[in-house]
Amino acid sequence: MDVGTGLSTRVADLMPQAREELAELVAIRSVADPRQFPPEECDRAARWVRERFAALGFTDARLARTADGSNAVVGSRPCDRADAPTVLLYAHYDVQPPLDDDAWETPPFELTEKGGRWYGRGAADCKGNILMHLLALRALGDGVPVNLKLVVEGSEEQGTGGLEGFVVDNPDLLRADTILVCDTGNAAVGRPAATVSLRGMVNVVVTVEALASELHSGMFGGAAPDALAALIAMLASLRDANGNTTVGGLDNRNRWEGEPYPPAQFRSDAGLLDGVRLLGDGEVSDMLWARPAITVLGIDCPPVVGSAAAIVPRTAARLNLRIPPGLAPEVAQQALTAHLRAAAPWGVHVSVEVEATGSPFRATTDGPAYRAMGAAMQEAYGTPMVTLGQGGSIPLCNVLTDTYPDAEIILMGVEEPQALIHAPNESVDPREISAMALAEALFLQRYAAVPR
């Protein structure tokens, strides 16, 4: 029996325990928002994680309070080899709120098997990745040939930046040669991938004012400017007839060089209704990962029920602009603000408030760790690893790059489009947990063997 086969057998034998533990962890309602769930739930999850990794040789595993009040689980497991590299394992134990309980087909905080998948909030994002780490290390047993460090954060979904500040304040604690950021996933079940690109973002609130107060639409409509109509015209200018984002000064022609996203698969993954067209002149992957994309997140306006025959004097919209690597958020922010002001009709008053910005990220893919991971994923899955982009932002990646410029950062995990992360009916395919755990175990072996 070769090494890979032996590891595969051990991973398979450990899967029943992994399911039991994932059920325990999913049952903990670790939403890091005290307005919605008791903070004691996050404390329970942090202690659960610490105990499991402490039992696997992270004898110094502890809870570290971060600036936003959340607890990060940190620890280390040294190797006997003097020349062994150091690998940092990352995940997060906090989860999104369940949102609409009525939309769930299974209890959100009860791991439930259905159609071969395991359903529950956090089953994939990101508690499934915690189990992936545990499973890989258990399969290796005492034979982990690298130095290991661990950080599992507790406020990633809230975006409050607790761990980002902790990294900057404690750079030596988490310093590593390679960092496995396990909070992404594969192109599809059975198709291994590394995420090499993350879009950044600019969130703004644009406010439009035209009148001192509401006016009767019969008496004044036709001559008096309507703030809501002005805002609608401004928002319409942000896309052309084909759906391309057309913010002045931002290039919307870039191409994605990695794995394509088949249109039919995207239509299915996104749940497009019959007859609804995909947006943009580029391929799906271009539109998702290589070009800017604007989304209207919300508008202040009278609801249909209860609205009056009155001209709206003041309104606002919240916008989210996603930006690809190579575009600085400061540049994008200035371009969006200038575009909105220029598009405003009739001399209405416009103010633009910046809520938040985040830089895009691009991973390096020419290092020994990346090559070792590619070989490990191919062995685990029997098919080559591909490269993906991701529309979401992970600000931690830029902090890690700035703090550890020589470290290789690999984004991977058990998530894939069917997982429906952040939505009702989140789930994980257990085959992804076992295959990614095997890939991680094989990677640690291969990476340790790289000459230094």
- C-beta separation of 418 from 127 below 8 A: no
- C-beta separation of 130 from 25 below 8 A: yes
Rounded Cα–Cα distance for residues 319 and 340 (Å)? 11
Rounded Cα–Cα distance for residues 420 and 105 (Å)? 13
Rounded Cα–Cα distance for residues 352 and 332 (Å)? 13
Give the residue among 367, 432, 391 at the shortest CA–CA distance from 87: 367
- C-beta separation of 392 from 198 below 8 A: yes
Active site residues: 94, 156
Rounded Cα–Cα distance for residues 363 and 382 (Å)? 24
Rounded Cα–Cα distance for residues 335 and 345 (Å)? 18
Q: In what order do the strands lie in the sheet with 293-300?
A: 293-300, 314-323, 200-209, 349-358
Q: Which two three-digit tokens encode residue 39?
A: 């903070």
Q: Is the dihedral of CA 21, 23, 26, 29 positive or negative?
A: negative
Q: Is the dihedral of CA 10, 8, 86, 49 positive or negative?
A: negative
Burial of 347 (0-12, 13-18, 19+ CB in 10 A): exposed
- The vertex-439 CA angle with 124 and 149, nearest 5°, equals 80
Beta strand pairing call for 386-390 and 193-198:
parallel
Rounded Cα–Cα distance for residues 13 and 224 (Å)? 73
Q: Is the dihedral of CA 60, 414, 122, 391 positive or negative?
A: positive
Q: What is the DSSP string of 424-449?
A: TT-EE-HHHHHHHHHHHHHHHHHHHT
String of b and e for 233-243 (b: at least 16 CB within 10 Å)? bbbebbbeeee
SS3 47: helix
Half-sphere exposure of 323 (CA within 13 A, CB side): 27
SS3 133: helix
